[in-house]
Amino acid sequence: MEVGCKHDFTRERRAEERAVSFLIFDDVAERVERLDIPFNQYGYDTFGVSKQHLKYFYSMLTFIYRHYLTVTVEGIENVPAKGRCMVVGNHSGGIALDGGMVVNSMLLEREQPRLVHGMADKFLNSIPFTSMWLNRVGQLTGLPEHAVRLLESDRVLMVFPEGARGTAKLYKEQFSLVRFGTGFMRLALQTGSPIVPFAFIGGGDAIPTIRNLKTVGSLVGVPYVPVTPYLLPLPRPGVHCHILYAEPMYFEGTGSEEDEIIEGYVKQVKEKIGELIEQGRKTRDTAVAIRQGRKVEFEEEGR
């Protein structure tokens, strides 16, 4: 009887998966299958990540990535093909649209796809079903122990040191960098993880925040509610976003160093991301001008 019930459950699950298979892009499913993740026979890994959930999640992101926005990527070969690392970048745009596009770029643009784990804000746990769904797609609650376990398991961890201060930047501030936290650096040193800096260009253009309603946010359990010229914090279609990855940065230490040393390391990463933002802006502006048929003047001789 128990075997029969288990068989019926498996058959019903497969029937449900077939019924919604139209929501999954074939190339996305193929790339999820190629992830170097030790899934068990039921399609789950030790962190509770679900292969089937990943296919739905990445298909949704891919629709936005390819058809709703225009996303281009440069330097993704700088992310190690194997082993632990941290991808660390800037935040902007009211909501974590940039995080979704970065995660998706690591699946679509690499010869060997990699699963990128993010640290979800703790307030998301208060939203029904959100915490479980995020866990199934590899976005774990932002606790230090989760981050350590992921890196010690040789995963890729995405970090935005600006935190909610970054997404709260207004449209006119989108290319600036606010204060960086230092926890990511201590984590990198503790786990011996290289840091790959990146810049995301276009978040503020996609979601041009003109004001943040903090009082309203506190009433609904979020840090703030972003307001755009069209009121809702939804991305505008057709915006060109550009992601630029730099070469890995390596730092020596154990993570228990004096604050002055850690802050010095953090400053180096922040300065590198600032350089990438300026470089990425020029690359994106050139690509947009070419696409629109406008004349482009290059500063460097021979370009």
Question: How far apart are alpha carbons 40 and 256 in whole angstroms?
Answer: 36
Question: How far apart are alpha carbons 223 and 242 in whole angstroms?
Answer: 27
Q: Give me the residue spans of the domains in the chain.
A: 20-291
Q: How confident is the model at residue 302 (pLDDT cuts 50, 70, 90)?
A: very low
CB of 137 within 8 A of CB of 170? no
Q: What is the pLDDT of residue 235?
A: 95
Structure-model confidence comparison of residues 299 and 151, the more confident one: 151
Mean pLDDT, to the nearest integer, of 165-190?
96
Structure-model confidence comparison of residues 223 and 112, the more confident one: 112
C-alpha distances in Å from residue 258, one per residue of 136, 184, 249, 250: 37, 15, 20, 18
pLDDT in tens, 58-81: 999 999 999 999 999 999 999 999
Contacts of 112 (CB under 8 A, 6+ apart): 34, 36, 81, 82
Q: What is the pLDDT of residue 301?
A: 40
Query: 3-7, 105-109, 270-274 — which is least confidently predicted?
Result: 3-7
Question: How far apart are alpha carbons 63 and 57 in whole angstroms?
Answer: 10
Question: How far apart are alpha carbons 185 and 263 in whole angstroms?
Answer: 9
∠ CA 143-270-198, nearest 5°, is 75
Q: Which two tokens stand for residue 183?
A: 């926890």
Mean pLDDT, to the nearest integer, of 1-9?
51
Mean pLDDT, to the nearest integer, of 99-112?
97
Q: How confident is the model at residue 300 (pLDDT cuts 50, 70, 90)?
A: very low
pLDDT(9) > 50 = no
Q: What is the mean pLDDT of the chain?
A: 90
- Cβ burial of 46 (10 Å; 0-12, 13-18, 19+) is exposed
- Cβ burial of 7 (10 Å; 0-12, 13-18, 19+) is exposed
Query: 9-18, 169-178, 267-276 — which is least confidently predicted?
Result: 9-18
Q: Which two tokens stand for residue 250?
A: 């390596």
> What pTM was computed for the model?
0.88
Helix and strand numbers (H, E) in the chain are 11, 9
- What single string gives the DSSP state of each residue in 188-251? HHHHT--EEEEEEESHHHHS---EEEHHHHHHHTSS-EEEBTTBS--PPTT-EEEEEE---B--
Domain 20-291 grouped into CATH 3.30.1380: no
Q: What is the pLDDT of residue 303?
A: 41
117: nearest Cα among 155, 144, 83: 155
200: nearest Cα among 246, 232, 231, 156: 246
Q: How many CA atoms lie within 13 A of 158 on its CB side?
A: 29
Q: How confident is the model at residue 191 (pLDDT cuts 50, 70, 90)?
A: very high
